[in-house]
Amino acid sequence: MIEIILLGINHKTAPVEIRELLTVSKEEAAAMLDAIKESASVNEVVLFSTCNRVEILMTAGDKADAIETVQRQLSRFKNVPVSRFQQSIYIYEGDEAVRHIFRVASSLDSMMVGEPQILGQIKDAYFTATKRKSSGVILNRLLHRTFFVAKRVRTETGIGDHAVSISYAAVELARKIFGLLEGKKVLLVGAGEMAELAVEHLIRNRVKEIFVANRTFKNGVELARKFGGTAIRFEEITDFIQQADVIISSTGSPDIIINKEQVKHIMPGRRNRPLFFIDIAVPRDIDPEINKLNNIYVYDIDDLNGVVDENIEDRNKEAIKGERIIDEAVISFRRWYDSLDVVPTIVALRNKIDSIATAEIEKTMHAMDIPENEREALYRMKNAIINKIMHNPTLLLKRDGCHGNNSVYIDVTRKLFNLDE
């Protein structure tokens, strides 16, 4: 019987030093698929690789040989001795392999549970495999099920809800305060990766204007150009807080830059429109006392981390629901897979033909009133016909088709005679 085997390494089993050695590019993947397919023991193969994992999914008659082949090819293509990564490799078979691919695609196995990229990456890999014709009946079916399951997990659970990065959490908060961010003004004080990322998220939410204040005006101008915003002088900050709605601060200053008094005085002028301070700097730039003023909200890096932790916890809770969906899907895939076994298919085919023939004979006999002994002769004839009809299909299905891969014929047979109804 042909087995589904999955062989891989991921961030849980291998440190980055090993993962980076084995990362497979798209071109390499295509060539590797061709090479692995050459092996007599491997029938179908799909390979995908992301920064956190390399996974090779295959169906094989000779399990040990297939695993050895794949390891050898991986070692050959990446020029890394097998001994270097053998310790980190995990191998799943049958239901466990199916469950693993379902979990990976649903992002339950990801470093960040619920991240949405992985499904696209698997789809790309599958596309490559279909182009190289390395994927067949079983893996085609398995991957289509995988995409379906992953989509179900995403829509029926909350694993993709709520931000799990600092900068995105900040934007989500801004949306809880202001609703639509369209038309809002943002003031960026200082610079820094996280702050700039937050500004980019805000731009994607169609804020109206970006002001950039930097101690070195020239740097401010450059940054402002990057965002299509306006550079302002550091001394002008107070004036611009008056206009802005969201203030993101990320300077290297050891002292507080914006204090309570400064902000208190501008609120009447803003007619109490809300203000949201995002303080990503350590040490902090914005006086935490400002949070006590009405209609003003200050979140520092720890507060944002708290929000992110809460969201991650929520996702993990949702992941449990996802596992349940996957359990169901594994069982239903197993049912289909078992039907691919030769004997049940032959039996099903015989039963189908038999039921048709018997029904027709009985119809005829009913109309013609045939005596008992002649009836038996008719039934004998029916069985003889069925045996003759079944002879060649049985031989073909039982013979090891191409490389023992008769799953194609079984599948065709089941479809041709609609045996799965």
| Helix (H), strand (E) at residue 376 | helix 372-398
Which of residues 284 and 414 has its CB atom nearest to another protein in the complex? 284
Which of residues 285 and 303 has its CB atom nearest to another protein in the complex? 303
Choose, by CB under 8 A, the member of 100, 162, 201, 284 that binds another protein: 162
166-185 mask for another protein (x: CB under 8 A)? Answer: -------x-xxxxxx-----
Least distance between another protein and beta carbon 227 (Å): 24
| Apex 197 CA angle, 195 and 200, nearest 5 | 115
Least distance between another protein and beta carbon 321 (Å): 13
Residues 280-299 that bind another protein (CB under 8 A): 291, 294-295, 297, 299
- Binding-residue total with another protein (CB under 8 A): 23
Which of residues 191 and 307 has its CB atom nearest to another protein in the complex? 307
Q: Identify residue 342 by its one-letter amino acid code.
A: V
Choose, by CB under 8 A, the member of 307, 329, 330, 357 that binds another protein: 307
Of 51, 320, 356, 381, the active-site residue reads 51
Least distance between another protein and beta carbon 151 (Å): 18
Q: Position of tokens 């305060």?
A: 177
Q: Which residues contact 285 (CB under 8 A, 6 or more apart)?
A: 189, 190, 249, 250, 251, 253, 256, 257, 258, 279
Choose, by CB under 8 A, the member of 225, 273, 335, 380 that binds another protein: 273
Instruction: Please confirm, yes or no, whether 51 is among the known catalytic residues.
Output: yes
Choose, by CB under 8 A, the member of 82, 306, 364, 376 that binds another protein: 306
CA 366 → CA 13, 239, 282, 363, distances in Å? Answer: 70, 100, 93, 5
Choose, by CB under 8 A, the member of 124, 239, 261, 310 that binds another protein: 310
Instruction: Based on the shown chain and the rule CB under 8 A, indicate whether residue 324 belongs to the binding site for another protein.
Output: no
Least distance between another protein and beta carbon 250 (Å): 19
CA 55 → CA 92, 119, 177, 323, distances in Å? Answer: 11, 13, 43, 20
Least distance between another protein and beta carbon 248 (Å): 17
Which of residues 178 and 337 has its CB atom nearest to another protein in the complex? 178
Task: Determine whether 311 is exposed, middle or buried from the number of CB atoms within 10 Å of its CB (0-12, 13-18, 19+).
Answer: buried
Q: Is the dihedral of CA 381, 386, 389, 395 positive or negative?
A: negative
Q: Which candidate, 70, 106, 76, places its Cα nearest to that of 91?
A: 70
Q: Identify residue 356 by its one-letter amino acid code.
A: I
Point out which span in 11-19, 127-135, 266-274, 349-357 binds another protein (CB under 8 A).
266-274
Instruction: Map residue 46 onto helix, strand or coil.
Output: strand
* DSSP bridge partners of 360: none
Task: Determine whether 140 is exposed, middle or buried from the number of CB atoms within 10 Å of its CB (0-12, 13-18, 19+).
Answer: middle
Q: Which residues are catalytic?
A: 51
Residues that bind another protein (CB under 8 A): 162, 173, 175-180, 268, 270-274, 291, 294-295, 297, 299, 303, 306-307, 310
